[in-house]
Structure 1
Amino acid sequence: MSKGIPHVLRAGLLALLLAFLLTPQTFEPLLKPLVQANAPAIYNQGSLLSLTIQHLTIVLVATLAATIVAVSLAILVSRPIGAEFLPLSRSLVNIGQTFPPVAVLALAVPVLGFGEKPTLVALFLYGLLPIFENTLTGLTTLPPAVMEAARGTGMTGLQRLLKIEVPLAMPVILAGIRLSVVISLATATIGSTVAAKTLGEVIIAGLQTNNLAFVLQGGLIVGALAMLIYDGLSAVEQRLSTRA
């Protein structure tokens, strides 16, 4: 069990989120005091459930791509044959942290056009650093005695990597992925400024019409998703640590 959200609260938060996404009109009385007379209290320019699914899809695709690239780079530079590429690799994964996501979107739109593609690029670049650094840390801080024992059994370099190093480093790697996902969940909202279908649409609509209920809906859904995913990955990470 993770040390994050207690099980009962986690289940309650998930149930509340699903209830709101599936039957948002049920919560209208709670949000009505936040809007002006005759203004809608529930976002009515699209489906909240559909936007949430699209938001999560963009985050998933970007995180998967960032994980593949970052883990591969970390494995390469942790080998003697690739150690000389460590400074270059660090420079590459730091690109996303050097440029704000808004700047990446501004540069990507002229090339990729409006929609999900610029957002995917921004999230991909922004998610590289935590995954790369955690993977590198996990692979380079393994117990020397374990590595010596693996060599003593006659394992090849590839066998040690797949059977010993990656499994032992997996909790640390997963911690980097967890951080990357949470960053991407929040950052993906700006994708709506370039016509990507994310929960940012709800927040932007609220800001444009001075509708606090819309802003609150978008922010709370993103916040609930971040808490649930963070806590879920923490539980998996702890279980992997115990097994390792």
Structure 2
Amino acid sequence: MSESAVTPGLAAGRRRWWLPFVWLGLLLLACLGMAELEAVFRWLEPDSREVIYRRSEFPTLLGRHLLVVGVASLLAIVAGVGAAVLVTRPFGRDFLPLVAQFASMGQTLPPVAVLALAVPVLGFGTLPIIVALLLYGLLPIVRNSLAGLQGIDPAIHEAARGMGMSRGQVLRQVELPLAAPIILAGVRTSVTINIATAALGATVGASNLGDPIISGIVNGNTAYIVQGALLIGLLALTVDSAFERLLGWR
């Protein structure tokens, strides 16, 4: 393929990245300039003394939200992909139904129920919501990892082994790269879901973007609820569009 044919494709791929940056810009503007929208929120809550959530800075809440989701997602990726790799090896195939059922059970249990069970053991704070998000985010990763690894043509395995590759080399250099788009699609679903679910952490003392929502519900302040929901929505759109472009780039 000529260089002239490749260059337009690369340029078009780069141009597709404008949307995640637009969402990111809107998210940062909303975090830093929420107070400038006081007139809008005053219209929503004309009788409230305060219409802008001020107990914590919005950039701080955003950072805490990202930290919780990031840690839980990283653990879910390691556990989910690792479990899928193990049960697709000859020595682990007997455990495939058990892994699939465990992952399904994690998403069947409501995060609120997981939090209620985790708090007496782990206490209040960040750890219970990380556990809840980890369990809740496993299913899409495990399911897609299994689909990606099991969907590889056996002839590709035979060709790789025929070239003298060890089982570890086949996994690292052939299977995981081929399954990566499907695995990333599962990670995208898991992370996007957990961005919204992480707001429940505010109910157990894990400060994040759920704080304004919970405070708004407790105090009957719709403006607080809208502020938290707006930031969580913009964050979800930023991350989801970034994953979409990453999958398209591949």
Band of TM-score, shorter chain: over 0.9
Which amino acid in structure 2 is aligned with residue 179 of structure 1?
A: T
Q: CA deviation at 1:176?
A: 0.6
3-state SS, counterpart of residue 142 of structure 1: coil
Deviation readout 1:110-149 (Å, 9 max, x if unpaired): 0000011110110000011110110010001013332222
For residue 225 of structure 2, what is the aligned residue in structure 1?
215
1:83 partnered with 2:110: no
**Partners of 1:118 and 1:146 in 2: how far apart?**
43
Q: Mark the runs of 5 or more structure 2 residues left unpaired by the alignment.
A: 1-11
In 1: Cα distance, 2:82 partner to 2:26 partner: 38
Taking every aligned residue pair, what percent have the same amino acid on both sides? 45
> 5 Å matches for 1:101-112?
101-112=111-122
- 1:236 positional shift: 1.1
Corresponding residue for 1:29?
A: 39
Q: Cα offset for 1:87?
A: 1.3
1:114 aligns with 2:134: no
Correspondence list, 1:19-168, <5 A: 19-168=29-178
Say whether the 8 Å CA contact 2:26–2:234 is kept in structure 1: no
CA 1:174–1:92: 2 relative to 1, 3 Å: same
Deviations, residues 158-190 of structure 1 (Å, cap 9, x unaligned): 100000000110111111111110111111111
Unaligned runs of 5+ in 1: none
Q: Choose the corresponding residue for 1:11, options 21, 43, 65.
A: 21
- How far apart are the structure 2 equivalents of 1:68 and 1:57? 17
Judged with a 3 Å threshold, the aligned counterparts in structure 2 of structure 1 residues 71 and 117 are, in CA distance, closer, same or farther, namely same
Tell me what 1:175 maps to. 185
Q: SS of the counterpart of 2:175? A: helix
C-alpha contact (below 8 Å) 2:21/2:238 kept by paired residues: no
Q: Is the 8 A contact 2:148 2:183 kept in 1?
A: yes
Conserved? CA contact 2:38–2:51, under 8 Å = yes
* TM-fit CA distance, 1:9: 4.8
In 2 relative to 1, CA 72–151 (structure 1 residues): closer, same or farther, beyond 3 Å? same
Q: Contact conserved, 1:178 with 1:230, CA < 8 A, in 2?
A: yes
TM-score by length of 1: 0.92
Rounded to whole Å, the distance in 2 between the matches of 1:9 and 1:149 is 40
Q: Residue 238 of structure 2 aligns with which residue?
A: 228
Q: 1:82 & 1:30 partners in 2: Cα distance? A: 58
